[in-house]
Amino acid sequence: MNDSYFPDAKEGIDVSVYHCGIEQCQPGHSYGPAIRDHFLIHYILDGCGRFFIDGNEYYLHKNQGFLICPNIVTYYEADSQNPWTYTWVGFNGVKAEQYLKYAGLDRFDPIFTYDKGSFVAQCFSRMMDARQLKRGDTVRLQGLLYIFLSELIESGEPKAWNSKSPTELYIRKAMQYIQANYSQHMSINELAAYIGLNRSYFSALFKQYIHLSPQEFIVRFRMDKACELMSNAELSISDISRSVGYDDPLNFSKIFKKIKGVSPYQYRKGVMTKS
C-alpha cells in the first residue's frame, strides 16, 4: 500500500516539501538503483529492510531512518520476512543541506535513530493530514518539515561544515573528482595526486572509510551510472559504454555482468519491460 502526496512546492525558500507519503511494503519490495534531484528522508514505523549507498549496506529497523541526498545512487529493499512500513518526506531548499548537517546527517552518515517516543511519527502523520487542507497545505507542510528537522537537530549529533576531519575532507574531494570525471579515463595515481596524497596512503584511507578500494568504487559508480542510462532508448549499449568511461563495449559488458549479474542487454530488456 502506497499513500503519497505531492504539494505545490515553492521555490526560493529555506526548505520546501516536494512530496510525502507512507508505504506498507510487500516482502522484498525494492526501489533503485536510482538517483533523486532532492533530499529524501525515510523513517521506519515497523519492520525492517536494507539501504545501500556507496558500496555500504545498512540493515535498518523500526525507529531508524535514512537520508538520500541529491544525485547519489541508492537502492533499498524491504526484508523478505518482516518487510518495513515507512513514511517519507522529500524536500529541498537553500538551507536544506545546512539543517541536515546540524542534525549530523549527510551522504557519508545517512542513518539516524529516533526512539524517544512518537514525536517524529506524529510529524509525518500530520504531514499526511495536511493534504486535506484546501488552501494552507503548502504552508502547513513547510512548518511541519521545520518541526521535524528541529527534532532531528535536537536529538542528533551536531556536525557543522567546518568540523570535518581531514580524512573526510580527502574522501569528499575524491568523490567530487570521481563524479566529475567518471566518463573519462581515470587512474588512481591521478586521483591520488588530485587529493594531494601518495597512491598507497590514499588507497588505504579510501578503503578504510568507504570499505571498497578506489578502483572498486569507480567501477561500481560507473555501472550504476550505466544503469541510469539504460532507460534511454536513443542510446545504444556502445553509447552507454562510452558515456561511463569504457571505449571497448565488450570489456564494458563483461564488467557490467560481473557487477550486476546480468548482461547490459538483459538489464535493459528488464528496464524497458517495466516502463
Taking the CA of residue 142 as centre, how many other CA atoms within 13 Å lie in the half-sphere pointing to its CB? Answer: 17
pLDDT at 2: 54
What is the residue whose three cell numbers read 580524512?
167
CATH number for the region 2-155 comes to 2.60.120.280
C-alpha angle 51-52-58 in degrees, rounded to nearest 5: 55
pLDDT at 161: 42
* DSSP three-state, residue 159: coil
Q: Which three cell numbers stand for residue 128?
A: 499526511
The CATH fold assigned to 166-274 is Arc Repressor Mutant, subunit A (1.10.10)
264 φ/ψ angles, rounded to the nearest 5 degrees? -55, -40
CATH topology match: 2-155 vs 166-274: no
- CB contact at 8 A, 45 and 121: yes
Q: Taking the domains of the chain in order of start, what are their residue ranges?
A: 2-155, 166-274
- CB contact at 8 A, 242 and 252: no
**What does DSSP say about strands 56-61 and 48-53: parallel, antiparallel, or unpaired?**
antiparallel
Q: In order along the chain (275 residues), what is the average pLDDT of each group of 10 residues?
A: 47 73 93 90 95 92 94 93 94 86 89 90 90 81 92 72 65 86 91 91 90 92 90 91 94 93 90 65
* 3 state SS for 60-92: EECCEEEEECCCCCEEEEECCCCECEEEEEEEE
pLDDT at 11: 42
pLDDT at 8: 46
Rounded Cα gap, residues 218 and 174, in angstroms: 10
Task: Say whether pTM exceeds 0.75.
Answer: no
